[in-house]
Amino acid sequence: MRRCGIYARYSSDLQRESSIEDQVRRCREYAGRQGWTVVEDYVVADRAVSAAAMSGRDELHRLIADAKRKPRPFDCVLVEDTSRLARDLSDSLRVTATFKFHGVSTVAVTQGIDTAQDNSRQLLTLHGMVDEQFLVGLRQKVHRGQEGRVLHGLNPGGRCYGYRNVPIEDPTRQGKYGRSAVIGVRQEIIEEEAAVVRRIFEMYASGVGLSQIAKQFNQEGVPAPKPANNRLRRVWSRYSIREMLHNERYRGVVVWNRTGKMRDPETGRKISRARPESQWTRNEVPSLRIVPEELWQAAHEQNARVNALGITRLGGLCRTRRSRTYLFSGVLACGECGSSVVVISGGGKRGYVKYGCHARKHTGACDNDLLIRQDRLEEQLLAAIEERVLSPTMIDYAVRRCQEELKRRLTEMQRHGVGDPNSLKRAREELQAKQRRVIEAIEAGGEIPALAQRLRELEDQVGRLDRALVTARPLRPDISEDEIRQRVTKTLLSLRQSLSGEDTIRAKAAIIKHVGRLVLTPVVRDGRQIYRVSGNVSVPDENGGMLLVARDGIEPPTPAFSGLRPSTPIPLTINNKCQFLSSKNWL
């Protein structure tokens, strides 16, 4: 008698929650007709999750993980049909193959597919192609519908500062929540916001910079555009000003299809990619014009003059030639507002390069006006990190955590038989026995194509085990503390060498990998302004397999953490935080 788990899924919040109940009910009925037992702990569902990718499918991943346990808690997984499992053919085949490798079959009850049968792969491939084509066709229909809305002067989606979205309803049709169906969305100009848009173009055309416009608007309390879902603060910034200056909708031209979204096959996330201009759709909608053509041209002539100054960009955290010398670019955050702490001034023949809050500099939306010179910040932070990393306390902590993690992983691997040569050999012997039975069936005149396919699958599985056996080593539960200490010390010394070397790019990569985000919070102590720096130090082993986190921050503080650099060090209170002093009067 088979023990069954059940997996259900629906992909959109437009679908009914009862869809899950219906799927589970059908699977239960099928199991009852077959005389199988349903294991209630493994009746699971993913709600409002697309099957186009494996990301976000937490319950399915849990089933896969539990299928690898020994002993197995269930023998098969029931789904209503193959589309509930995946709408990507490669995902569908990979998931069912993973289940099958660990002795768990997959059954699609409405299609009558059981992966325990020899012809299941052909049926899965056929239905998987149909499931995948459904998404392709749906995507094409949605794209065609959006293009039609653009050509009719309607809004294909999203909001834009200066306009309000007005739904167009069809009273003869019923839509969501019992309301009339929405057949389109048109845009109307909001005069108050339109005046702000025209003012932006006028200020920029007269020579006012993007940051200055943002600061002035924030000081005046001009309502800013609504932030995206991943932004917390509703403020003006130079980036939002720049986007508005290049938005052709303000001149009465709707430009659509400039970007397209592709799904990353590894992460499942959708990534926007720019389309060639030949694929753009442009439609003139005079009723949407806010900015006169003369003002538009004047602003863009000013933009061309600014761009003519130019700057060489290299990409990443080393995107300019100067930024390659900034060790902590991209890893510092302001403790007041959460934005980045970046280089905001200096770089000339006489001026010192100084770090400060990005939001304070470009939007005026943060009260943190504390600056610190680049050379002093880097010298003091590096000194504290090196001392923290190579302190006996840190090494003892790292060794202790390594021992705990090693013990946990060895126990888990022994329980599952992962990486153990003896377990791999037993699995290979089982597969070889299956190969012999398949060969006997072929000799007896069985269904040749299906048996040949099954034989190739078994050969592939045996080949993978052979490759795993080449690199497999017996588990060593008796690794001594001295061996762990040597490994940890070697890793820490490698980190120190990277930080103290002359290769700035290598040092920056080491900081990003091992130190991560550092939060600089301005405080006042004894009448002086102090930056309190808190963060984590991550020390993985050479293979990146271990993560040791000093959760109490970087410690202890040292006399080097004085922005004054006096001859007599200023005493600092040890409070489990790495501190240094800074004041604009001392820079």
Token representation of residue 506: 């290598």
| 48 or 197, which is more confident | 197
CB 64 within 8 A of CB 98: yes
CB 115 within 8 A of CB 99: yes
DSSP letter (8 states) at residue 331: T
Runs of H (alpha helix) within 152-260: 191-205, 210-220, 238-245
Q: How many whole angstroms separate alpha carbon 172 and alpha carbon 110?
A: 36
Q: What is the pLDDT of residue 245?
A: 95
| Cα torsion through 190, 192, 196, 202, rounded to 10 | 90
| Model confidence pLDDT, tens digit, residues 478-498 | 667 677 777 777 776 666 666
Q: What is the pLDDT of residue 23?
A: 93
| Model confidence pLDDT, tens digit, residues 193-213 | 999 999 999 999 988 889 889
CB 557 within 8 A of CB 381: no
Whether the pLDDT of residue 73 is over 80: the answer is yes
Q: What is the pLDDT of residue 420?
A: 62
State if pTM tops 0.75.
no
Report helix angle 481-500 to 374-389, nearest 10.
170
Q: How many whole angstroms separate alpha carbon 131 and alpha carbon 146?
A: 23
CB 226 within 8 A of CB 234: yes
* Mean pLDDT of all residues belonging to the chain: 78
CB 44 within 8 A of CB 6: yes
For 432, how many CA atoms within 13 A lie in the half-sphere containing its CB?
A: 9
| Model confidence pLDDT, tens digit, residues 215-238 | 899 889 899 998 766 566 788 988
> How far, CA to CA in Å, does 352 sit from each of 51, 116, 214, 355, 537?
54, 71, 26, 10, 29
CB 324 within 8 A of CB 504: yes
Q: Report the percent of the chain where pLDDT is more than 70.
A: 75
| Model confidence pLDDT, tens digit, residues 367-425 | 888 888 888 888 877 777 777 666 777 777 777 777 777 777 777 765 655 556 777 77
CB 183 within 8 A of CB 169: yes
Closest among 66, 62, 76, 92 to 27, alpha carbons compared: 76
